[in-house]
């Protein structure tokens, strides 16, 4: 088989066979197929697309390019969640303990943040001592013992994706639905869980800017989940403004804890109840959403979900006291309010730019190897639809110096648009698709 022939076949709109796709992925991971040939193939896929069968074959070939986690020693139904990435998205910190408190087994491998989006691992590291590299044995033991473990992806999980994603990033071929679907689903399938819920974000702060694109991706993800024999749901959610109020690692942890304490409601809780219901329904705990939501709310009201987070932190070398006393978490030396220079109703918040403000304060990474400051970021006091008086605070900036805080405050003001007339709050949940 020759890679040149496969490139030409896809370029001319042909369908690649399973053998051809396996040859291509295997050859690429072993260094027998060059980056320039793989770039040409990615571009051909970008323009010609792939059938469901090709996307499934690509996903499975990528999944088997490295280690596949064996969760068979874990008793019970194993659950996982994935978000396509957003600003202020701390749902995993709430959802995972909440569903674990309801009896599901959460075995989750997470990633770090990059650019304007955050990552669960960085947030968890706001708990001093939290160990994201506990190894597979402790990971499995912890899920069996306390029902939850969240760690970093092992080095050899889907090596094909690591190579391919880096190549797509520099060849203009990231926004191809079959390439995104195979990238996400190969990692989810290799992680070995029975039920998966995918939070597909759409809007200015998301990877998918329009609802139509998000739908197409959600359909692709759930179709491949089903063809691969997993129960998989996708929830399409709004990312035209940050989720919740906090943006920045330790600040987001504090907000998540406040939701688990039952003190904070709103969009963040709503999303966690929706995603959690999908998992409980797919796991067969209940057939209807109302019952699922009651079970999840009960896990919060009883304190069991918060206790589960404390158990997770303790089991991964942190201190459970930090969950109950958030004053022990990282705190930036400077806090600065951002008084509004307009009055009216917030009509728009430039979501991606808010994520970038947190990044420039030191809370995120421009490049993978950058160090981050867990304490910095911002807390919004106003969101789309809220009424604002002149001089009222739009947000609190948490920064390492006053100079950085002031620059962030000016940028934040520029992110907000106001209307003289009332503005409708955006609909958070756009659609739910089950496989």
Catalytic machinery residues: 82, 161, 168, 183, 187
| CA-to-CA separations, 179 to 35, 176, 239, 306, in angstroms, rounded | 16, 5, 22, 37
Residue 297, Cβ neighbours under 10 Å: how many?
16
Which of 165, 418 has the CB closer to ligand URA? 165
Using a 10 angstrom Cβ sphere, with 0-12 exposed, 13-18 middle and 19 or more buried, the burial of residue 19 is exposed
> Quick one: 28 or 345, whose CB is closer to ligand URA?
28
Distance CA 269, CA 95 (A): 9
CB of 165 to ligand URA, least distance (A): 6
Q: Give the C-alpha separation, 413 to 20, whole Å.
A: 53
Secondary structure class of 65 (helix, strand, coil): coil
Answer positive or negative: Cα dihedral of 204, 210, 213, 216.
positive
DSSP-assigned letter for residue 427 = P
| Cβ nearer to ligand URA, comparing 39 with 326 | 39
Q: Report CA torsion sign: 281, 56, 236, 152.
A: positive
User: Rounded to the nearest whole angstrom, what is the least distance from the CB of residue 174 to ligand URA in the complex?
Assistant: 6
- Cβ proximity to ligand URA, 59 vs 277, nearer residue: 59
d(CA 316, CA 426): 38
CB of 313 to ligand URA, least distance (A): 26
SS3 of 238, please? strand
Q: What is the nearest approach in angstroms of ligand URA to the Cβ of residue 311?
A: 29
CA distances from 425 to 317, 344, 349 (A): 41, 14, 12
DSSP 154: P
Contacts of 174 (CB under 8 A, 6+ apart): 165, 168, 180
Q: Which residue number places its CB atom closest to ligand URA?
A: 183
In contact, 275 and 149? CB cutoff 8 Å = no
Beta carbon nearer to ligand URA, 29 or 179: 179
Q: CB 2 → ligand URA: shortest distance, Å? A: 27
The one-character DSSP state at 261 is: T
Nearer to ligand URA, 46 or 207 (CB): 207
The binding site for ligand URA (CB under 6 A) comprises: 84, 165, 174, 179-180, 183-184, 207
User: In whole angstroms, what is the distance from residue 122 CA to residue 120 CA?
Assistant: 6
Residue 425 C-beta: closest distance to ligand URA, Å: 28
Q: List Cβ neighbours of 32 (8 Å cut-off, separation of 6 or more).
A: none
Do residues 98 and 90 lie in contact, with contact meaning Cβ atoms separated by under 8 Å? Answer: no
DSSP string, 191-205: TT-SEEEEEEEESTT
| Minimum distance, C-beta of residue 324 to ligand URA, in the bound complex (Å) | 34
Shortest approach of ligand URA to residue 89 CB, angstroms? 13
Contact 287, 79 (CB under 8 A): no
Task: Report helix, strand and coil shares of the chain as percent, to nearest 5.
Answer: 45, 15, 35
Decide whether 215 or 308 has the Cβ nearer to ligand URA. 215
Token pair of 180 as six digits: 């995104």
Q: Which is nearer to ligand URA, 187 or 430 (CB)?
A: 187
Cα separations in angstroms, 75 against 107, 173, 276: 12, 40, 20
């Amino acid at each position: 088989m020759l890679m040149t022939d496969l490139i030409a076949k896809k370029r001319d709109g042909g369908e690649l066979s399973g053998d051809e796709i396996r040859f291509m992925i295997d050859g690429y991971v072993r260094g027998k197929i060059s980056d320039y040939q793989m770039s040409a193939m990615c571009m051909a896929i970008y323009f010609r697309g792939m059938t469901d069968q090709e996307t499934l074959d690509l996903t499975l070939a990528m999944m088997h390019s490295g280690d596949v986690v064996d969760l068979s020693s874990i008793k019970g139904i194993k659950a996982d969640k994935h978000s396509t990435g957003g600003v202020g998205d701390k749902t995993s910190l709430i959802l995972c303990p909440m569903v674990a408190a309801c009896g599901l087994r959460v075995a989750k491998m997470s990633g770090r943040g990059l650019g304007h989006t955050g990552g669960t691992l960085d947030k968890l590291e706001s708990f001093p001592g939290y160990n994201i590299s506990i190894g597979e044995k402790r990971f499995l033991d912890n899920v069996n013992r306390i029902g939850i473990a969240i760690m970093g992806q092992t080095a050899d999980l889907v090596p094909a994706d690591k190579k391919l994603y880096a190549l797509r990033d520099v060849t203009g071929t990231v926004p191809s639905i079959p390439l995104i679907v195979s990238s996400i689903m190969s990692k989810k399938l290799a992680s070995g869980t029975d039920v998966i819920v995918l939070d597909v974000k759409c809007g200015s702060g998301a990877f998918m800017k329009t609802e139509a694109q998000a739908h197409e991706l959600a359909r692709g993800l759930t179709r491949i989940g089903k063809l691969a024999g997993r129960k998989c749901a996708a929830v399409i959610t709004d990312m035209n403004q940050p989720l919740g109020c906090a943006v920045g690692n330790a600040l987001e942890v504090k907000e998540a804890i406040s939701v688990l304490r039952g003190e904070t409601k709103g969009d963040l809780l709503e999303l966690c109840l929706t995603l959690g219901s999908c998992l409980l329904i797919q796991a067969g705990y209940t057939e209807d959403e109302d019952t699922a939501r009651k079970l999840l709310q009960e896990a919060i009201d009883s304190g069991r979900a918060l206790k589960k987070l404390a158990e997770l932190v303790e089991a991964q070398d942190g201190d459970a006291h930090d969950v109950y006393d958030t004053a022990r978490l990282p705190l930036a030396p400077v806090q600065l309010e951002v008084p509004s220079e307009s009055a009216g109703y917030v009509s728009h918040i430039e979501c991606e730019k808010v994520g970038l403000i947190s990044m420039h304060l030191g809370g995120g990474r421009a490049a993978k190897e950058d160090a981050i400051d867990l304490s910095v970021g911002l807390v919004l006091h106003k969101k789309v639809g809220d009424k604002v008086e002149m001089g009222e605070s739009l947000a609190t900036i948490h920064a390492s110096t006053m100079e950085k805080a002031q620059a962030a405050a000016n940028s934040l003001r520029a992110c907000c648009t106001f209307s003289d007339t009332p503005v409708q709050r955006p609909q958070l949940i756009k659609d739910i698709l089950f496989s």
